[in-house]
Amino acid sequence: MRFSLVSLARQAFGGAAWPRQWREAEPKPAYDVVIVGAGGHGLATAYYLAKEHGIRDVAVLDKGWLGGGNTGRNTTIIRSNYLQDESAAIYEHALKLWETLSGELNYNVMYSPRGVMMLAHNEHDTRVFKRHVHANRLQGIDNEWLTPQQAKAFCPPLHVGTDARYPVLGAALQRRGGVARHDAVAWGYARGASAMGVDIVQNCEVTGISRQPNGAVAGVETTRGTILANKVAVVAAGHTSVLMGMAGVRMPLESFPLQALVSEPVKPVMPCVVMSNTVHAYISQSDKGELVIGAGTDAYTSYSQAGGLHISSHTLEAICELFPSFRRLRMLRSWGGIVDVTPDRSPIIGLTPVPGLFVNCGWGTGGFKATPGSGHVFAATIARGEPHPIAAPFGLDRFRTGRLIDEAAAAAVSH
Ligand code: FAD
Ligand code: PYC
């Protein structure tokens, strides 16, 4: 039997109402804005619509439970060390919001800037990461180059011996990067949005997007009935193509399973986040003590929320190679999420060919870190009906010109 957060919380709070500051709403027949997807991005969008634009007649609909998509399934790596100015700007905007988010929401999202270190194992890695260090410093973003000995001092369990298959030749370190508690981010934004009047409707799958005779959006069809809306915003990572297809819009996206796993909990042993593109692993330690390990995407498109076993086995081999002392640990559980990926590995945020229909998607394997910034600029885009300046480069129209080239830092590990 499967329990949703809603049913568990209902039991915890006596079966009736939600705790004072967050209720599960019944849908109304009409809203100003309907947001499809109660992940971090959708909930953050609702929060900033209400808080910064005074738009509170908003419903956030989810086919499952809030935070049950990629928001609650990711490895929570937060960083802004991207190469292109456009990407660095949006991820840095998000990183600055992370720094004050617990205070903003009065909810501990456990943002922990413990440093994200990216390992170089060959000449190509070294050149690429040094290029990122220089680009970031020109952008005013912290990033520094470490020798193998400095990398070892920063992360003592890391093996930097020359006997390794791919020895560590150096590392790029973003000290302000780190991790946060993923589901707390969803809960914090949900509680904040709900307190301002936003309705959050779980177990409400959107099955259609209806249009007015003039072509503009009219609302959504759902498993709980028709809901009219002046504006509809699709923020449904992994499922965006399906939803946008309901409005007749084809999206340049592919959906892949991406998986992660955690070890049994142990005392603090891993002080930072480490990522290796070449050996292919990324790892940190949660406050519960589990080592949080991410794997790669499957090689084929799918909507399955579980990836291939050979992918996670490969990742564990890589972890054991980089951290020999972790070999004796047992794995506790693994899971998957569905990520949607654009051809240039940058997100899509903005207006669509359908008046009143907005979209935020394509964050691929790296959108958790963007959550506050994405919600912030998307809310402004919806409220004003034109792209926020930081979101403007990420419009759908860029695929006509090929304006953005592949953002190599989008994955940071080869997915
Ligand atoms: P989601 O949280 O997936 O929310 C979308 C919601 O839409 C879901 O709740 C879903 O139920 C709902 N939905 C879908 N279809 C419908 C429908 N028809 N009707 C109603 N609701 C619908 N990013 C990082 O920055 N750092 C990382 O370390 C990192 N690691 C990752 C590891 C894994 C294993 C995975 C899977 C992803 C990782 N990511 C990471 C990516 C990150 O998780 C996502 O980019 C981000 O969480 C997307 O947030 P979201 O709110 O857009 O999507
Ligand atoms: O974007 O940093 C990232 C990331 C790490 C693992 C998955 N995504």
Domains of the chain and CATH, by start: 5-74+182-252+343-401 (3.50.50.60), 116-175+255-341 (3.30.9.10)
Q: Is the CB of 87 under 6 A from ligand 2?
A: no
pLDDT at 407: 85
Using 70 as the pLDDT threshold, list the residues of the chain that sit under it: 1-23, 412-415
Q: Which of 65, 74, 185, 315 to mutate to test the pocket of ligand 1 (most atoms within 8 A of CB)?
A: 74
User: In angstroms, how far apart are the furthest CA atoms of the chain?
Assistant: 69
pLDDT at 405: 81
Which ligand has the nearest atom to the CA of 363? 1
- Straight-line distance from the first to the last Cα atom of the chain, in angstroms, rounded to the nearest whole number: 33
Dist. CA 348–CA 370, nearest whole Å: 12
Dist. CA 20–CA 162, nearest whole Å: 58
pLDDT at 13: 38
Tokens (6 digits) for 358: 């907005």
pLDDT at 408: 72
pLDDT at 10: 45
Cβ–Cβ under 8 Å, residues 189 and 196:
no
The closest alpha carbon to 83, from 412, 306, 413, belongs to 412
CA of 240 to the centre of ligand 2 (A): 20
CA of 94 to the centre of ligand 2 (A): 15
pLDDT at 15: 39
Helix, strand, coil share (%) of the chain residues, nearest 5: 30, 25, 45
pLDDT at 312: 84
Dist. CA 254–CA 302, nearest whole Å: 9
pLDDT at 299: 87
Residue nearest to atom 47 of ligand 1 (CA): 71
105 class by beta-carbon count within 10 Å (0-12 exposed, 13-18 middle, 19+ buried): buried
Q: Which of 368, 374, 414 to mutate to test the pocket of ligand 2 (most atoms within 8 A of CB)?
A: 368
Which ligand has the nearest atom to the CA of 75? 1
pLDDT at 148: 98
Return the sign of the alpha-carbon dihedral for residues 38, 39, 45, 46.
positive
Dist. CA 144–CA 130, nearest whole Å: 8
3-state secondary structure of 171: strand
The CA–CA distances, whole Å, from 10 to 18, 138, 201, 333 equal 7, 51, 15, 26
